[in-house]
Structure 1
Amino acid sequence: MPQFFLNKRLIILLVSIIILVALIGFSLREREQLTWPEQFVKDTAGWVQSLVSRPARYIAGFVENLQDLQNTYDENKELKKRLDDIARLEARVHSLEKDNKELQEILDVKESLADYEPKQATVIGRSPDHWHELLIINKGKSNGVKQNMAVMTPGGLIGKVKSATTFTATVQLLSSMDPKNRISAVIQGETPEERHFGTIEGFDKNDELLLLKGIPYDVKVTKGQNVVTSGLGGVFPKDLPVGTVVKTVPDEYGLNQTAYVQPGADFYDIEHVMVVKRQMPGPNIENAGEGGL
């Protein structure tokens, strides 16, 4: 008797599977019309889905709007803070401008070491034998270009005018190993005590870094500090960007230290340059390295 019931259950299971497979196959075949049970199930499912989706979309939209409001609030708060900072800076700048104007009137100073007149020029020649040292530009004496004028690119200072003809000029790059190729420079700092003066003398060809020498041994120089022209050499304007400090090493006698400076300009790829004419006349310094440093 138990064996009979077991066989009966097995038969019912097999018949059910066959019917299920037949129904699946029947429902999957292509038909122009669905049976009424299929239509009823689909219509009911669609109605329930639309009934549920509307509140779900509304809730999702509400939550998204709340998030947008929160983001807007945070952004507005940050913008207000920046506006307050800008207002304080504008007030500070206005005060400094007023003080500077008054001091200039007291001292009767009309010019600054940082004032200069730029002259655009294009590189028209570069000797493979002197690739790291010299290049020729298409502006000369007829354009107001003179010996020892600073030459730079948007990245920073690249050198000085070594000589000039009527229509062209030869530029000596900072990477030149000429011992007379010196430039008075300063490491910038947030305070006067953090400003350190030296001279750009030489170029490390292996690491492609400029050498800023003559820095006192007991001062602290931090990696990443900016190096600019000092304007004290009598020829170059003040604050022309040179590069950033990479490292410092003591000199052979331990009295000073040398800073290795990553140039801001690319000495290899130079097409357009700017010749810089200093506005404030410099002192009459003869044979002072940079042609006046």
Structure 2
Amino acid sequence: MSNFFVKRRLLLLLLSLILLVTTMGITLKDRPLPTWPERFVRDSLAFAQSIIYKPAFAVAGFFESIGDIYQVYEENKALKQNLQQFAQVTADLNELKLENQELRAMLEAKESKLSDYKLRMAEVVARSPDRWNHTLIIDKGSKDGMSPNMAVITPEGYIGRIQSVSHFSAQVELVTDIERGNHIGAIIQGNERIYGVVEGYDPKNNLLVMRKIPMQSEIEPKQLVITSGLGGTIPKGLVLGEIVSVRTDDQFLTKDAYIRPSANLNRLEKVFVVERSFIAPTDIPAAPLPGIRGANQQPGLETSASDDTRGTGE
């Protein structure tokens, strides 16, 4: 009885193998219309795959998007760092260009404009905001040969004079602090030299005021104004600025000329200190001859200019 069941099982297994091989042989052939079991299996698998594939694809896309966002974030961060470095490099380059231009201008001024004077370059190291138009500090002192009343200039023109000196630094009194007694003998250049005294400053319009100009003097805008050197301390020929306008003074005795400074007093970084020994003033207007009138030969003008400059060292 047991042998019968064993043989029956072997027979069923053999028939199953024959059926499987036959089915495989049939399904391996290229057929335009598969059998219904194949269609059933294919459709079932396709339906199951569609249910699983869409969520899996969405999850995979989500994590892929997160990876892309992180990569974009890192690239953006790197680009920002490079942009900051580029901005710093650009700023450094602009500073070097400006410094190069300043040094070139100062070198040209030292070689050409003031060859008769010894110039010593100094750097502005301090400037108080509350005394912006009054004083500044330079990095040269008595050890460098600095002394009070030395003129301080830029390649554009005169800016002031040394007021006090320390061992390693000096305080410069600016030309805009002129109301405190820093009067300057000046000359208006033209067909004839017109003498006067710069003894005022208009902070609202940033203009120097030159007074004691004879009434008959003919002055036009854009005429150049230079130092006269009559005080013996400030050299002659340093550019102060150019005429902007002319008015009659309150007493209607002389004229006042308003001068725009040639030097940019708001941006002072490097300056020149003019070193020279004291030279007695020799270029003094001659006394007027009887019957002859001239803008630079007015009675009392020499006394006024020298009086205003004698007490200030200029």
Normalising by structure 1, what TM-score? 0.57
Equivalence map 1:135-146=2 (5 Å): 135-146=136-147
Q: Give the equivalent residue in structure 2 for 1:266.
A: 264
Deviations 1:54-78 (A, max 9, x none): xxxxxxxxxxxxxxxxxxxxxxxxx
Following TM superposition, by how much is the alpha carbon of 1:114 offset from its aligned partner in structure 2, in angstroms?
8.8
Following TM superposition, by how much is the alpha carbon of 1:209 offset from its aligned partner in structure 2, in angstroms?
0.5
Q: Is the 8 A contact 1:123 1:270 kept in 2?
A: yes
Q: Is the 8 A contact 1:235 1:291 kept in 2?
A: no
Distance in 2 (alpha carbons) for counterparts of 1:287 and 1:212: 12
Deviations 1:60-112 (A, max 9, x none): xxxxxxxxxxxxxxxxxxxxxxxxxxxxxxxxxxxxxxxxxxxxxxxxxxxxx
- Does residue 257 (structure 1) correspond to residue 255 (structure 2)? The answer is yes
Identity over aligned residues, as a percent?
Answer: 41
Q: Give the equivalent residue in structure 2 for 1:180.
A: 181
**What secondary structure does 1:236 align onto?**
coil
Distance in 2 (alpha carbons) for counterparts of 1:286 and 1:139: 31
Following TM superposition, by how much is the alpha carbon of 1:143 offset from its aligned partner in structure 2, in angstroms?
1.0
- Does residue 220 (structure 1) correspond to residue 228 (structure 2)? The answer is no
Which of 205, 208, 221 lines up with 2:206 in the alignment? Answer: 208
Instruction: Read off the aligned partner of 1:174 and give its amino acid letter.
Output: V
Residues 290 and 146 (structure 1), Cα distance of their counterparts in 2 relative to 1, 3 Å cut: farther
Q: Is the 8 A contact 1:181 1:290 kept in 2?
A: no
Q: Is the 8 A contact 2:215 2:255 kept in 1?
A: yes
Instruction: Read off the aligned partner of 1:272 and give its amino acid letter.
Output: K
Normalising by structure 2, what TM-score? 0.53
Q: Is the 8 A contact 1:211 1:260 kept in 2?
A: yes
Deviations 1:13-68 (A, max 9, x none): xxxxxxxxxxxxxxxxxxxxxxxxxxxxxxxxxxxxxxxxxxxxxxxxxxxxxxxx
**What secondary structure does 1:245 align onto?**
strand
Q: Give the equivalent residue in structure 1 for 2:89.
A: none
Instruction: Read off the aligned partner of 2:218 and give its amino acid letter.
Output: K
Q: Is the 8 A contact 1:215 1:256 kept in 2?
A: yes
Equivalence map 1:9-48=2 (5 Å): none
Instruction: Read off the aligned partner of 1:139 and give its amino acid letter.
Output: K
Unaligned runs of 5+ in 2: 1-113, 282-305
Instruction: Read off the aligned partner of 2:213 and give its amino acid letter.
Output: I
**What secondary structure does 1:142 align onto?**
helix
Residues 287 and 254 (structure 1), Cα distance of their counterparts in 2 relative to 1, 3 Å cut: closer
Q: Give the equivalent residue in structure 2 for 1:198.
A: 196
Q: Is the 8 A contact 1:115 1:279 kept in 2?
A: no
**What secondary structure does 2:195 align onto?**
strand
Q: Size of the alignment, in residue pairs?
A: 177
Unaligned runs of 5+ in 1: 1-112
Following TM superposition, by how much is the alpha carbon of 1:281 offset from its aligned partner in structure 2, in angstroms?
2.5
| CA root-mean-square deviation | 2.2
Following TM superposition, by how much is the alpha carbon of 1:271 offset from its aligned partner in structure 2, in angstroms?
0.2
Q: Give the equivalent residue in structure 1 for 2:132.
A: 131
**What secondary structure does 2:177 align onto?**
coil
**What secondary structure does 1:175 align onto?**
helix
Q: Give the equivalent residue in structure 2 for 1:4.
A: none
Larger relative CO (CA 8 A, sep 6+): 1 or 2? Answer: 1
Following TM superposition, by how much is the alpha carbon of 1:287 offset from its aligned partner in structure 2, in angstroms?
9.0
Q: Give the equivalent residue in structure 1 for 2:233.
A: 235
